[in-house]
Every structure is written in structure tokens, then in C-alpha cells.
Amino acid sequence: MNIKLSEGSGGREMNSLVRDFRKILKVTGEWKHTDNDAAIVKINDDEYVCMTSDSFVVDPIFFPGGNIGDLAFCGTVNDLLVMGCYPKGLSLSFVIEEGFPKKDLDKILESIQAWSKKTTIPIVTGDTKVMEKGKLDKIIINTTAVGICTKEEIIDREVERGDKIILSGGLGEHAVALLSKRFDYETSIKSDSAPLVEELTMVKKQIKQAKDPTRGGLAATLNEFASKYNAIIEIDETSIPIKKEVKSVTKLLGLDPYVLACEGRFVCTVGKDKADDVLKELKVFNKDAAIIGEVKEIKSKKPEVLLLTKIGKRILHEPSGNIVPRIC
Amino acid sequence: MNIKLSEGSGGREMNSLVRDFRKILKVTGEWKHTDNDAAIVKINDDEYVCMTSDSFVVDPIFFPGGNIGDLAFCGTVNDLLVMGCYPKGLSLSFVIEEGFPKKDLDKILESIQAWSKKTTIPIVTGDTKVMEKGKLDKIIINTTAVGICTKEEIIDREVERGDKIILSGGLGEHAVALLSKRFDYETSIKSDSAPLVEELTMVKKQIKQAKDPTRGGLAATLNEFASKYNAIIEIDETSIPIKKEVKSVTKLLGLDPYVLACEGRFVCTVGKDKADDVLKELKVFNKDAAIIGEVKEIKSKKPEVLLLTKIGKRILHEPSGNIVPRIC
């Protein structure tokens, strides 16, 4: 048995591989959320350390709206932010192919520095390795973030029947921007890659659960929510924000926007009485933010995500297959 | 200008590249030792968070005495241990080439699990990416460690003239074991890859500075010590522990054992009155441990590392050039 591309795609095959890893690694002890993107551990009366790590292998490394450096900063920072924890520092490790142009490396570093300055999250440690020409496709970056937070700050509150599901902006923009370089088409769409600092700072006290829909997209995130609460979640297709151009490009390429990775969006659950307020606040940052559905049931025997379409209801499954390799 | 192999070798060229990175990244703020392998930040009255990150690109991935998983666990854990901080958790990120055998991945994971169990340092979070066949040479692992410690625990005490330099075991064993696979020779030498948990727990209160001589080897580590304290350090060549077989293999291959990466050794400075005690304790773990020299001067205008040989003194320079690519 050999590793397949699909096992890195963020869908069913990857989740199964990671479960195999966990069986061997036997993760135990005082850390929580170790099956999540970020893990957390209590260090004293009311302080927690949060940690998350991601490696970035995006191809191409430069694309409309960003580069691998933007993704490496924002992707990892967002994984802590959606937990409710503000990163205190970020490590930055490069593996570079021999012969890689230094001017490209400088551009990548400048992007990282710009976000670091804007968010005041410093790069505090790192590592640099070089592999012989032909042994690596250009460059890989790993970033790991660590943060300290209080219990109150952690976004992990009990979900109830009737809670609303909000998406903070349009789907598919990162993928459409990135693929324009691979498939050589013109597009006005830019990657949505950005740190979710301001949006989450604004609404973090009012929301119950949050997750950034990266690999596996909205479909993976909603299925994760459903499985965590044994919930039945119903989403209204007509309310899901997808820009017109994204719709037509994905249709042309035969891609499903619900499984494509976003790099600057989050999905959250909110009590129904607070949903309109949260939406209003999120619309300040992105006018495409929308209430896309609600939690129909919790503790169900058959947790699932249902998609209301013009022609009826269908199940929105956990994605599987290759989706788009090396999207981040 | 393009990236050269030597810029990942742990010597002068890499240090220069990392200085360039730091110019762009403008690392500032409350974190300390950000120019070191591990960075540290105060989080409350007497608690510090420590963080270190490393990517492993070793070739071959299996070698006498270990595999890339052993290195990924031990290398990163050691970078915190030599700071005096016991890791609280480790992240584990894989980038894997499509087609990589799952049984090899299992072996790597089992090695990591064995160390995790032995040291009680859990793997708490991670990431898995897959690159298309031919785009990556087999597998890359990033591990990042985070720990909490008190000020008293941090091994960073003022160095004085007369302090002794101790090396915890023989040089060159990892390199000789690894290269036996690349150059196809037989050897009884095994990689020294191991976490420095017990040795450092035993002596951490008595030593002043500690560092694991990985890429760039003993030469890089001693030059770092010299430059930190503007010190003149004198090392006695006859006292440096190098196994007979390591000596003959490195001679045959034309390699300098002083610049080769160790993966389970550390170098420390100790007050002269405590040196014999520390040595005695370290010899329990490795009988090759030795006092190899001393600090002759501090605050010198011309910091350097001098090597006393049978035919006179010579400067032991910061290493440069390719050394051994992908040794860790």
C-alpha cells in the first residue's frame, strides 16, 4: 500500500490516514482537541497554551492575491484564531530546492513580514534546509503558531438546535485565483488568503464554534461540525455566497465550490437570537458574509449535512478523492 | 542569485542567509533568543514559553541506528532541552511523496511513538500533505516543540574565564552511520540520535551554557559560544572523543569530524570547580564524555576557537561549504 494524492486532500481518505497515524502515535495525556487543527493544554489556573502546525506545498507559489508566504502566515494563524486564541509567536521553517531564486525568497519573506507587522504576531524561530536540485519542487514552508489564552476566550460553546450557521465570505476564490496559473486563464478573482484577526476579534464572544474551511472546503467543515455534535445541519444552497465569476470558472473546470479550500474565511455557529447581529458585524469586513443554514437537530442518531437545492434536499457528503492537489 | 546547497549546511553561508532573512523579517518584541535554535518569552511572573522548530530532509531516511522519525523527534526535543526547558508537546507535520510505502511510514511513526512514550512528550497536533510523484524525494518531516519553564531552569548563566568545555559523547557517529548507506560501506557505528533527557536532567543545574552540535558540528557550536561571549576558547585535540572506526571512515571519505552533525550529543560550559563532577555524571550515560578544553578569555577583542594539536595551535573556524548535504 502506497500513499495516494487523495490522502493529502483534506477529505475522507486523509482523515482515515490521520486516524491510522493516531492509532500508532497513541496521543494521550492532558492536551485537548488533539484531533483538531489546534491543540490546547492548561498550564495554570486560568491559562492555556494553544498550538497548531501546517506545512505549505502550494503550486504555483505565486498567484493572484498572494504567494506561499501569505498562505504560510495566514493559514496557521487562522487555525489558532478560530479556537479563540491570539498567536503569541510563529515559527517559520523553509525547505528550499537548490537553485531557487533569492529574489523569489525575498518576495515571500516580505509578504510574511507585512502580515507579521500588521497583526503584531512575530516570527520567533525557524529553520532552513536546502535539498539538491530536482529533489524538491521549489519550496516548502512550515509554520507553527503558539498562543496563550484564558478558558473564557476559547470558542467552544455548546451548540443547540436552532443555531444559525454563518459563512464569513464567498467560497472558491483562492482556488479560482490559484488555478488560473495552472490552467492559464484570465481572472479578476484574487485569493482570499488573509488572517481572520479583525473579524474574529469582533465576534468571538458571540459565536459558539468556528472553523476555517481550508482543505476539503465548506463540505468538510460542516461535516466536522455535524459529527462533533451528532447534528443534522441544513444549508440553503441559494444563500451560500459564491461570486459569479467563481461560479462560472468552477463550472467550466468541473469543480465543486463546496469542497474547495478557502484561505481567509470562517464558518461559525451562532445562537439564533444573535445571528443577525453577528452577520451585520461580519458584513463590515466582507459584504458577502451570509447566514447559510441552521442546526436542525443535535444528538441525532444519523448526523448529516443536508443541502436544500431548487430541486430538493440532498446530502452534502464529506469530500473524497483528489479534489485539487497542492492548493495550499 | 540562487540558493546554494551550502546555504543549508549549518555553516557560514547558512548563517549569512538567515541574517538576511532576519533583516527582512525584522524580528522584534518580547521574545528572546530569537537568533538561537529556540526562542523564549515571559508569560507571567516566573513562567516562560519556549519554542523551537526543525524540518528534516535526511537522505537516506533509514540508516543504522535510526530513521527520519527518530531525528525529527530527538532533534527538536533536544533544541528545547539544551535551553533547560522540558517540552510539553510536539507538533508533527509530514510532507509525503505520492507512492511512498505505507509500511515505511508506519516504521517512522513507530519510532516517534517509542520516543514519545519513553520521554512522556506527546505528539499533540500535526499536518499531512502529499506531493505528486517526482516532486519531492520521499518524505519531509517538520516537528515543533513547545515547553513551559521557570527562569531558574533556563540554562543561560554567565560564562567566566577558566570555565571548562565538556562534550557529552563521541563525534561523527551519526554521519558515519548515515553515509554508510550513501557510499555503501559496512560499519558497526550507529547514529547517536537520541533525546538528551536524562543527561541534561542530571546536570542542568550545574552547567552554564549548553548546545547540541547538529549541522556544522562541534566547530559551529564552539564558534557560537565564542562569539556570544567574545571568548577565546582553547580545545585540546587529543581530548576530543572520536571512536577509532569513526576516525578511519572520516579520513577515508575526506571528512572533518569537527564539522559533522551529531544528533544525540551536547557541548556545555561548566565552572572549573564543578567540571569533574559533571563529567562523572555524564560518563554514566556515555563513557566517551570528556572535558575537551576551556574558556581562556572573555570579552576579548578577537574571539576565536583555538585547537591545540600535536604540532601546535590552529584556529578552528566556523565551518563553510557544502559539508554533508541532508545529514538531518
* Average pLDDT of the segment spanning B228-234: 96
* Average pLDDT of the segment spanning B283-288: 98
* Average pLDDT of the segment spanning B137-161: 96
Q: Compute the CA torsion angle B226, B155, B15, B28 (nearest 10 deg).
A: -120
**ipTM entry:** 0.96
Q: With respect to CATH, is domain A164-315 assigned 3.40.50.1820?
A: no
Residue B293's closest CA among B272, B263, B318? B272
Residue in chain A closest to B90 (alpha carbons) equals A51
> Which of B3, B125, B130 lies closest to A3 in CB terms?
B130
Query: Global pTM?
Result: 0.96
Domain coordinates in residue numbering, chain A? 31-153, 164-315
Give the mutation candidate from B7, B18, B53 for the A interface (greatest A CB count, under 10 A): B53
Predicted local distance difference test score (pLDDT) of residue A90: 97
A136-151 confidence digits (pLDDT tens): 999 999 999 999 999 9
Give the mutation candidate from B2, B4, B34, B111 for the A interface (greatest A CB count, under 10 A): B2
Percentage of chain B with pLDDT > 70?
Answer: 100
Side-chain half-sphere of B120: how many Cα atoms within 13 Å? Answer: 4
> Which of B1, B135, B146 lies closest to A102 in CB terms?
B1
Cell, residue A255 = 469543480
Contact criterion met (CB < 8 Å) for A137 and B140: no
**Residue A36: pLDDT band with limits 50, 70, 90:** confident
> Scanning the structure block, which residue is given the C-alpha cell 440532498?
A314
> Which of A95, A123, A140 lies closest to B25 in CB terms?
A123
Contact criterion met (CB < 8 Å) for A51 and B7: no
Distance (Å) from the C-alpha of residue A66 to the closest C-alpha of chain B? 17
10 Å CB burial of residue B184 (0-12, 13-18, 19+) is: exposed
Q: What is the DSSP annotation of B155-182?
A: ------TT-EEEE-S-SSHHHHHHHHHH
Residue A192 above 90 pLDDT?
yes
> Which of A116, A136, A325 lies closest to B136 in CB terms?
A136
> Which of B9, B93, B122 lies closest to A55 in CB terms?
B93
Contact criterion met (CB < 8 Å) for B140 and A95: yes
Which residues on B lie below 8 Å from A76 (Cβ)? none
Contact criterion met (CB < 8 Å) for B102 and A27: no
* Average pLDDT of the segment spanning A206-228: 96
Distance (Å) from the C-alpha of residue A275 to the closest C-alpha of chain B? 31
Which residues on A lie below 8 Å from B41 (Cβ)? 88-89, 124
B89-106 confidence digits (pLDDT tens): 999 999 999 999 999 999
Residue B319 CA, chain-centre distance (Å), reads: 15
Distance (Å) from the C-alpha of residue B36 to the closest C-alpha of chain A? 7
* Average pLDDT of the segment spanning B187-207: 97
Q: How far apart (Å, rounded) are the C-alpha atoms in residues A270 and A250?
A: 30
Q: How far apart (Å, rounded) are the C-alpha atoms in residues B301 and B88?
A: 40
CATH number for the region A31-153 comes to 3.30.1330.10
Predicted local distance difference test score (pLDDT) of residue A323: 85
Distance (Å) from the C-alpha of residue B246 to the closest C-alpha of chain A? 25
* Average pLDDT of the segment spanning A257-264: 97
Which residues on A lie below 8 Å from B56 (Cβ)? 129
Contact criterion met (CB < 8 Å) for A55 and B127: yes
Predicted local distance difference test score (pLDDT) of residue A35: 77
A203-216 confidence digits (pLDDT tens): 999 999 999 999 99
B25-57 confidence digits (pLDDT tens): 987 789 998 877 899 999 988 899 999 999 999
pLDDT, chain A, mean: 96
Contact criterion met (CB < 8 Å) for B146 and A116: no
Predicted local distance difference test score (pLDDT) of residue B323: 85
**Residue B313: pLDDT band with limits 50, 70, 90:** very high
